[in-house]
Amino acid sequence: MIAKHIDRTVRALQWPIAYGMAALSPLILTALALWLARSTSFPLYATMFWLGVAGTFALSRSSWVSSKILNKAIAYERRFTQAILSFLLLQPTSVILGWVRTRLGIQKSANDSQPAKPLPPPTPWLADDNWLIATSSYFLPTASIVLWLLSALLLPAFLRSFILGVGVAYHLLSVYFQIRHSVASTSNSQYPKRFLWLFLIPMNLLVFIAGYAFALDGFSGLQKLPSDLMTPIWLLMPNSTAR
């Protein structure tokens, strides 16, 4: 099956991809420095973005936002993100199977007092989510992307920058919460701190840079990211100038 081969390939590439992302960290940090330096060219948009970031962090520390509401929001986003990636990778893994089995009556929900009917033994490749699906909510800012799209369509540029700051800050908060309060699908034994440092930190730096670039310069800012990432390589090449 195609899905089975995709799953095996993803599992085999976990550490090569993690080390590859770690190797790209200097390029990512250079792109971050470039966009922070460009803040002076977009003072209004940069100010609104940082106001959104600061406001979100401040609100998360206040009593106005219930921790239960925040926890539920992060949990729903995590399941939704994992389900999307499961579909994209053709993997009907635990997120989707659990929902389907409950809805079809094969498996009773956790709140049901009646004993659950026995499930057929799963095939080995459906035993659990692969690492990419299980950790997708750590680096895919699903809620932030929705905010980005809505802001690009409905809001003026300066308000769009504020909303993007809110979205980026919310994503970073959700990543921190999930690492601090790990769930079964992303246990520390399965994904140790080495994986967090090698893969998740560079990926979330990319998320931050993409959000900041979009807040400052819209889709044009996103188009500049590939060349920004290549800037150190071009500077090191003999008889060449940064493009």
Q: Which pLDDT value is given to residue 219?
A: 86
Token duo for residue 85: 């990636």
Each residue's pLDDT expressed in tens, for the chain with a length of 243 residues = 687 888 889 889 999 999 999 999 999 999 999 999 999 999 999 999 999 999 998 888 877 666 677 778 888 888 888 888 888 887 765 545 555 555 444 444 444 445 444 434 333 333 357 888 888 889 999 988 888 888 878 888 788 899 999 999 999 999 988 887 765 444 444 566 788 889 999 999 999 999 999 999 988 999 999 999 998 888 777 765 545
Using the 8-state DSSP alphabet, how is residue 184 labeled? G
Characterize 120-139 residue by residue with b for buried, 16 or more Cβ atoms within 10 angstroms of its Cβ, and e for exposed.
Answer: eeeeebbeebbbbbbbbbbb
Report the alpha-carbon distance of residue 26 to residue 23 in Å, rounded. 7
Q: Which pLDDT value is given to residue 210?
A: 93
Q: Which pLDDT value is given to residue 149?
A: 84
Indicate the residue type of 78: R
Q: Which pLDDT value is given to residue 96?
A: 54
Token duo for residue 105: 């009556």
User: In the chain, where are the structural domains located?
Assistant: 2-9+25-236
Report the alpha-carbon distance of residue 167 to residue 181 in Å, rounded. 21
Characterize 161-189 residue by residue with b for buried, 16 or more Cβ atoms within 10 angstroms of its Cβ, and e for exposed.
Answer: bbbbbbbbbbbbbbbebbeeeeeebbeee
Strands (E), the chain: none
Report the alpha-carbon distance of residue 222 to residue 86 in Å, rounded. 26
In this prediction the pTM is 0.77
